[in-house]
Amino acid sequence: MHKLNPHHWTRLLDLMLPPVGASDQAAGGALASLMARTGPPQQASSTALSPEMPAIVLHRQGQVVRILRLGGGTLPVESLAGRPTQQSLRAFRHEHQLPFVAAVDLDLLPRLWSATQASVKLEDDFIAQQLAMLRVFRDALGKGVLVDPKLLGAVPIPQASLLQMTFDRMLPDGRSFVFYLLDGGAIYTSLIVAKRAGDIELVTTHDAIADRVPHLSSVRDARLVLEAVKERIARPHIGIFLPLGVWHETVDGDRSAIARAMATRRAVLDPAPAWLLAIVGAGIVAEAATRTGRLAGQLLSASRLGAQLFGSKRAERLVQTLSNPLEALGLDPWETLRWGRDWRRRIQLDRARLAPKSRRM
């Protein structure tokens, strides 16, 4: 097992990634699959990108000179006449059923490229540097750069300090985050993260404790994992142990899936800070009017989470009083999840529509 490497050349990341077992595929692949609805990790590729890639419109002096389809090929320039506007870009995106399209004035590109680099302060950490570059890009929107949909315009770009504060609240220094997905009585994939001095210091998987906990057939044995992580990496601050199916239900939009699974002892959140319980509990409250919500509420009443959430007279009031660090960023995790899910579905739909009559050249 690796020791935690104590050197700190940078404040942002000092990752120690242990080997990944043969059966788990690469950690990156496994982690990338977390949001996948079905099956094992999809083969990713660095150049042979999928057909759901966006398009970039290059224009100059009022004329479209090239429309690049990322992943390979071009689209006919005639399909977007004249200088792109927000309206024409949207129509173009709908016509070609593109997930995303950006238009860039080629005469502006060198200046934008320069300004992006000039915005970077070398003494900042990486997140702050990225945010600064993102701000330059957002400032260029409408001034030679157009995007559709207007992602950047809709999402606030937080200050790095606020982001750091939120992160510190979610996962204090010297503590770890443990996330296990189980499927068919075995570990499907896992993620163990340790934080120190404000930064993620270690990202690993169950392989890091494989000699202590080689198998995990049930979430009920989660304490074995937590003890090993505490001894070897850092004391867990968050522990999430879910069946793969519950994870899929959750990312598919079922807000009460985790709570129901906890009530039936198929899932474990331990340890769970108040804000995490609030998020899980908020799912229950939001769905309280539904049949599954009522059922979950009944089940929860006998559970640990239920005791925490429903032990008071009004669960909703309790949920509201539990502080959610993400609120500072203006993010509702359920809404974010829903947005991501809708986005993914839209891309899949576009791909299905595009498949029989691709216009890629």
Partner 1 sequence: MAVTVGSNGLLLGKEHLPLLAGAMHYFRIEKRWWGRCLDAVVELGLPVVESYVPWAVHERAIGRFDFGDGPVPDGFERDLGGFLEACAERGLKVILRPGPHINAELTDFGYPARITRNVDCQARGSDGNPVILPVPPRAFAVPSYASEAFHREASVWLKAFGDFVAPYCWPDGPVVAVQVDNELSLFFRTGAYDQDYHPDAQALYRQYLTRHHPDAVGTDPEPPRRFDATDAAGLVRHLDWVASKEWMVVRALDRMARVLRMCGLDRVVLFHNFPTQRWGAPCSLPAVEQVLDLAGLDIYLGQRDYAAVKSYALSLAGSSRLPFVPELGCGVWPWWFPYVREDQQSVTLNLLMHGVRAFNLYMAVERDRWYGSPIGADGRRQGDHFAELARLIEVVRGTDTQPGLTQLNRSVAVGLMLVRDYERLALCSALSDPFPPAALDLLGVKMEDVAPDQPTPGLDRPVARDYARVLTQAAQAMDQLQVPYHYVDSDLPLERLARYKLLVVPAFCFMDEDLLRRLAGYVDGGGRLLLLPTKPTLGGRLELLSQPVPEHILFEGTDPLVTLRNELDRLGVMPDLTTSTESEVDLAVWQDAQGITQVVFVANRSEKACTAQLRGLSPENRVWDALGGQPVDPQALALKSFEVRVLRVSAMGDRPHA
- The 63-82 site mask, x for binding partner 1 (CB under 8 A), equals --xx-x-xxxxx--------
Q: Does 51 bind partner 1 (CB under 8 A)?
A: no
- The 126-145 site mask, x for binding partner 1 (CB under 8 A), equals x--xx--x------------
Q: Does 291 bind partner 1 (CB under 8 A)?
A: no
Out of 203, 262, 269, 276, point to the residue binding partner 1 (CB under 8 A): 203
Query: b/e for 255-285, b at 16 or more Cβ within 10 A?
Result: bbbbbbbbbeebbbbbebbebbbbbbbbbbb
Nearest Cα neighbor of 228 from 14, 1, 24 is: 1
Q: Does 26 bind partner 1 (CB under 8 A)?
A: yes
Bridge partners (DSSP) listed for residue 236: 176
DSSP class of 141: B
Q: How far is the CB of 116 from partner 1 (least distance, A)?
A: 8
Question: Hey, CA dihedral for 163, 169, 170, 172, is it positive or negative?
Answer: positive
Out of 90, 100, 108, 125, point to the residue binding partner 1 (CB under 8 A): 125
Structure tokens at 223: 């304490």
Distance CA 207, CA 214 (A): 8
Q: Does 84 bind partner 1 (CB under 8 A)?
A: no
Q: How far is the CB of 200 from partner 1 (least distance, A)?
A: 10
Q: Which is nearer to partner 1, 203 or 318 (CB)?
A: 203
Q: In what order do the strands lie in the sheet with 63-69?
A: 74-75, 63-69, 55-60, 101-105, 145-148
Give Cα 156 distance to the centre of its chain.
16
Q: Does 37 bind partner 1 (CB under 8 A)?
A: no
Q: Does 118 bind partner 1 (CB under 8 A)?
A: yes
Nearest Cα neighbor of 42 from 284, 50, 76 is: 50
Q: How far is the CB of 145 from partner 1 (least distance, A)?
A: 13
Size of the site for partner 1 (CB under 8 A): 60
8 A C-beta contact, residue 242 and residue 258: yes
Q: How far is the CB of 80 from partner 1 (least distance, A)?
A: 15
Q: Does 117 bind partner 1 (CB under 8 A)?
A: yes
Residues at the interface with partner 1 (CB under 8 A): 1-3, 5-7, 9-10, 12-23, 25-29, 31-32, 41, 43-49, 53, 58, 65-66, 68, 70-74, 106, 109-110, 113-114, 117-118, 120, 122, 125-126, 129-130, 133, 203
